[in-house]
Structure 1
């Protein structure tokens, strides 16, 4: 038997070994340097580098800095494919900047920086003037501010920035898009644009768009999206006064979190509590009209409240088949009846929690005021599959649990097309799951025939799910 048959790994060429090591983190790959002389520097030649100062491999900042410096020096002029850097407080700009410059100089295509806000306030401008970057991610939340001025990223397809400041307002946003001519995915979180007054996003290339604006006390005047090829849209912002142009011809999946300012919330809740006439304070109708071709839609509880006060008419969502509603005990379901009536092809309805503010203006979506309603938003609802997430999570004692059971009972009685209900109950105690299942078994005959009900606890594991209940 020859030596290669005894040690197949060592007989492989260096380039193949580097490819294997590239599937490991740089920390794990570095451990192979102890195997033999041949392996001593091999880990430094892999095309993908992943440095994490939080790793237990490095006892202090100095050892981490020395390790990164050593690896980059050993690489020489070899091209870097992916470079990931995670480091917290205690590092200086003069430590990190040379690393970023090094990999940019050596043609990095995927750059991910997870660095502390105390490390750098403005990242070096050369990050946004790379001819090789295809993917760029900078974070985390409340991390370094990214101040965008001049952008030239001709090959960039994915851009993910957590904290963003545009130095020139709306003009800066236009420069970003023009500087990324092939950009397909854009994600901007903690975006500060409230003081602009208006914003316009225009791109024929974008396919995925995430814009999450930082909380502020102002409402934008005008917001426009001319993005005809976007299939996924996540949007979080204060309600605008106008949405003059919305082009979402290809939209499939949308997550909407539009909110009022704190002063507006306080005012409208006061008006509601005192039965005073409501005033339209924004224009959510235009936004809904712009996304009404969507197939999958998520609405936050802030959106529900905003629609109640800022929406004159609900458009018809002819293509909508999957709707998720987030609930909150401070917000009612007043806007749900009109919404459900205008979803003629809805198949799956998901509630993230059932506990909400008791009101007598929910139509027949619930009976939280104990009133018998004649509205037909549920009885004409085409929903076949009902999912209830976070059940029991917001319950404060038996009263809230009883409210949840009453709402579920109401769904069973009114939703004539139901075929299945799955309840994800938040508990780590098996007896709680059994009790919920027992209460469901006690529910009276329901209007929808052959409706199956399952209760599942993720924390207990699917193997401990309650037995399926069949109503017929």
Structure 2
């Protein structure tokens, strides 16, 4: 009888503990409202609304989340989704919005879009993201050619927006006089411009702008524009074109406070009017269609070196000068990259001379990363390595070569690095799986060197966890 009572008490205690454990597992619901609002703000509005079915505790939360993310995703019934958006905006009662994102791909009256944007503006929105395609029409180059959306004039009087992102079939049409008093980040991606003055006019109304990204296509009808922002610290320019004939453009840049610069795409004429004394990092990726170099005989050497000379104060430089043959080599002299400590370079048969020229003018380089982007040495554009010692940075401590194939010019280059880099600590050589590791080891082990501490590490693409380390003679 005593044992039975003890067993009953034990079971009751166990049930109580299990019940308490179940209650305690829903710890998220016990968090304060302000923290739950913050968590829900990272979800698309559709998913945030769906949390209302979890319990009575969650039911009213989404209507006070300071973020709205509305996406139609090419809805088959845009009229129904339009009603849903109006319903969501009517129920949502957050007094202010940290973020408002509207992504629209279906036919829709501009009146509805204007109304929704004005709702965001009325709630003192800080981050406004608009990606709008009023229909899905594209040409053979997959460029949007459908109906365009004109931004409402009320947007340009907003004093609270800090981040503005515009993408898709949107026309930029700023008024002659306005001011985004708080705007710090501006991203323009593949939009249209009413005239060549739209970008300068927009930027003139952004007195505290720090971060600008402009991604353009050949269909925006603007071949010349100016970027004049003295407060700008980060600048990203991307120019894409898929037309058979090469595009043309001219960009004049006045950004004396610039710290980060990135360019990618087809390089034409980019002019910096002030010395970039504060530049920390730069990244340049050049690409062009085959017909542009073959049919139109466009070569990039002079343009590449001209752009590099403007970036010579950078501490960190990532460079892909392009994979098309450069006939007009140009020259980087008399520029010196005194501040450069890290260089990432994507090498092709046609741009070895650019890499070698950079190494000769970077006396304080510490890290060199070379990524190879070809499988043979046809049309090799090679510049002989200097015989005189001391041309390479004496401070080079790290060298990585991704794609080493034991080709003659690659062997010469690695041998040169080992010979000249007196302070080299680590060299990592990544080898394609088709190569024999024995042959590579034999080649590397024959290199003489000055450093007494350098350890060479080789890795194979088929064995991401299989590292092979060897000591090199003289190291």
TM-score, reference length from structure 2: 0.74
1:227 matched to 2:255: yes
1:247-274 per-position Cα deviation (integer Å, ceiling 9, x unaligned): 311111112346789777337969xxxx
User: Which of the residues 220, 223, 226 maps onto 1:200?
Assistant: 226
**TM-fit CA distance, 1:155:** 0.9
**TM-fit CA distance, 1:281:** 9.0
Question: Which structure's CA Rg is the greater one?
Answer: 2
Q: Distance in 1 between matches of 2:148 and 2:165?
A: 16
User: Which of the residues 289, 292, 316 maps onto 2:312?
Assistant: 292
User: Which of the residues 244, 248, 266 maps onto 2:294?
Assistant: 266
Q: Distance in 2 between matches of 1:334 and 1:31?
A: 58
Q: 1:41-56, aligned counterparts within 5 Å?
A: 41-54=60-73
1:31 matched to 2:43: no
Q: Distance in 2 between matches of 1:53 and 1:385?
A: 49
1:339 matched to 2:358: yes
**TM-fit CA distance, 1:154:** 1.6
User: Which of the residues 338, 349, 370 maps onto 1:318?
Assistant: 338
Q: Distance in 2 between matches of 1:423 and 1:452?
A: 11
Structure 2 residue aligned with 1:179: 205
Aligned length: 428
- Could you say what secondary structure the match of 1:467 adopts? strand
- Could you say what secondary structure the match of 2:411 adopts? helix
Structure 2 segments unaligned to the other structure (5+ residues): 1-15, 137-146
Q: 1:313-392, aligned counterparts within 5 Å?
A: 313=333, 315-328=335-348, 331-355=350-374, 358-359=378-379, 362-364=382-384, 375=387, 380-382=392-394, 383-389=396-402, 391=403
Aligned residues of 1:135 and 1:158 also touching (Cα < 8 A):
yes
Aligned residues of 2:286 and 2:321 also touching (Cα < 8 A):
no
1:217 matched to 2:242: no
Q: Distance in 1 between matches of 2:398 and 2:454?
A: 9
1:49-92 per-position Cα deviation (integer Å, ceiling 9, x unaligned): 2334459xx99756654543332111146222112233445666
Q: Distance in 2 between matches of 1:352 and 1:284?
A: 18
Structure 1 residue aligned with 2:448: 447
Q: Distance in 2 between matches of 1:336 and 1:321?
A: 15
Q: Distance in 2 between matches of 1:316 and 1:307?
A: 23
Aligned residues of 1:437 and 1:466 also touching (Cα < 8 A):
no
- Shift of the 66–345 alpha-carbon distance from structure 1 to 2, 3 Å rule, reads same
Q: Distance in 2 between matches of 1:107 and 1:234?
A: 31
**TM-fit CA distance, 1:48:** 1.8
Structure 2 residue aligned with 1:411: 413
- Shift of the 229–117 alpha-carbon distance from structure 1 to 2, 3 Å rule, reads farther
Q: 1:154-193, aligned counterparts within 5 Å?
A: 154-169=181-196, 171-190=197-216
Q: Which moved more, 1:192-201 or 1:150-159?
A: 192-201
Structure 1 residue aligned with 2:6: none
Aligned residues of 1:194 and 1:219 also touching (Cα < 8 A):
no
Aligned residues of 2:283 and 2:318 also touching (Cα < 8 A):
yes
**TM-fit CA distance, 1:319:** 1.1
- Shift of the 241–34 alpha-carbon distance from structure 1 to 2, 3 Å rule, reads closer
Aligned residues of 1:218 and 1:261 also touching (Cα < 8 A):
no
1:121 matched to 2:124: no
1:294-333 per-position Cα deviation (integer Å, ceiling 9, x unaligned): 111122233996694444745211111112222345x342
- Could you say what secondary structure the match of 2:37 adopts? helix
Q: Distance in 1 between matches of 2:389 and 2:225?
A: 36
TM-score, reference length from structure 1: 0.75
Structure 2 residue aligned with 1:397: none
Q: 1:388-399, aligned counterparts within 5 Å?
A: 388-389=401-402, 391=403
**TM-fit CA distance, 1:159:** 0.5
Q: Distance in 2 between matches of 1:425 and 1:63?
A: 56
**TM-fit CA distance, 1:164:** 3.6
- Could you say what secondary structure the match of 2:447 adopts? coil
1:420 matched to 2:426: yes
